[in-house]
């Protein structure tokens, strides 16, 4: 932490700010842990509503070096006194613009919350320490398993339709008409639904004979 030679006026204003500050509304949802948290805009609004009238302001500088996001926060007082806090560093889950942007927002929110005493997250009994990369991998594996299961179902339906006397051309034509009528985009899910409907139509037709 770096600071001006004196911070007496800043300290008085800071204490008054914290005393008057109201905790912001937790109205953003965390889909990973089914919890709510305070978004950055609510944190910033809660601070500026009280800090500015007490002569306080802040500035945050984000940098990205070797794939690591760093956010430095500087708190200033109208007297000229200031405190520069140690940067908050973290590595984005994804090494792209979106990943860095998300990490910067996350770091800004946590830095401001820690400095001004804002409880920006609901207590999740330590679940927040879980590696997001691990969570993402688990979700990817689940989606892959669902996709594999759907493909297996589609292959089974195709074989059943062949056994019912349908040709590949018959199946392809039915699937195309089905998706066109439903306004569906070409996908394994849409093809599966079409073949399932085709099978039901054939079986129903056989029953009515």
Q: For the segment 15-65, what is each residue's pLDDT rounded down to a tens digit? A: 999 888 877 655 444 443 344 456 777 888 888 889 999 999 999 999 988
Give the ranges where 21-96 is alpha helix by DSSP (H). 40-51
> DSSP label at 121?
B
Q: How many angstroms separate the CA atoms of 197 and 184, rounded? A: 14
**Tokens 């994804």, located at residue:** 94
Task: For residue range 172-204, list pLDDT tens digits in order.
Answer: 999 999 999 988 888 888 899 999 999 998 888
Query: Which range in 68-77, 108-117, 161-170 is most confidently predicted, on average pLDDT?
Result: 68-77
The pLDDT score that the predictor gives to residue 40 is: 78
Q: Dihedral through CA 200, CA 201, CA 203, CA 209, nearest 10?
A: 160
Phi, psi of 109 (to 5 degrees): -65, -45
The pLDDT score that the predictor gives to residue 11 is: 94
The pLDDT score that the predictor gives to residue 91 is: 83
Task: For residue range 103-153, list pLDDT tens digits in order.
Answer: 888 888 888 888 988 775 444 434 444 455 555 566 667 667 777 787 888
Q: How many angstroms separate the CA atoms of 128 and 112, rounded? A: 18
Statement: the pTM of the whole predicted model exceeds 0.75: no
């Amino acid at each position: 932490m770096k600071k001006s030679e004196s911070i007496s006026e800043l300290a008085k204003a800071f204490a008054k700010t914290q005393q008057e500050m109201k905790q912001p509304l937790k109205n953003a949802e965390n889909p990973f842990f089914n919890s709510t948290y305070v978004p950055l805009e609510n944190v910033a609004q809660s601070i500026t509503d009280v800090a500015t009238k007490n002569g306080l302001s802040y500035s945050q500088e984000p940098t990205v070096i070797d794939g690591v996001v760093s956010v430095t926060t500087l708190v200033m007082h109208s007297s000229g006194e200031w405190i520069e806090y140690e940067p908050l560093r973290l590595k984005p889950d994804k090494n792209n613009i979106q990943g860095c942007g998300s990490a910067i927002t996350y770091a800004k929110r946590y830095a401001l919350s820690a400095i001004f005493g804002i409880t920006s997250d609901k207590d999740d009994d330590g679940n927040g320490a879980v590696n997001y990369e691990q969570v993402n991998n688990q979700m990817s594996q689940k989606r892959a398993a669902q996709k594999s299961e759907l493909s297996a179902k589609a292959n089974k339906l195709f074989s059943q339709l062949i056994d019912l006397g349908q040709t590949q051309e018959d199946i392809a034509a039915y699937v195309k008409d089905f998706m066109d009528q439903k306004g569906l985009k070409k996908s394994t899910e849409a093809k599966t639904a079409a073949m399932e409907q085709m099978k039901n139509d054939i079986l129903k037709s056989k029953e009515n004979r």
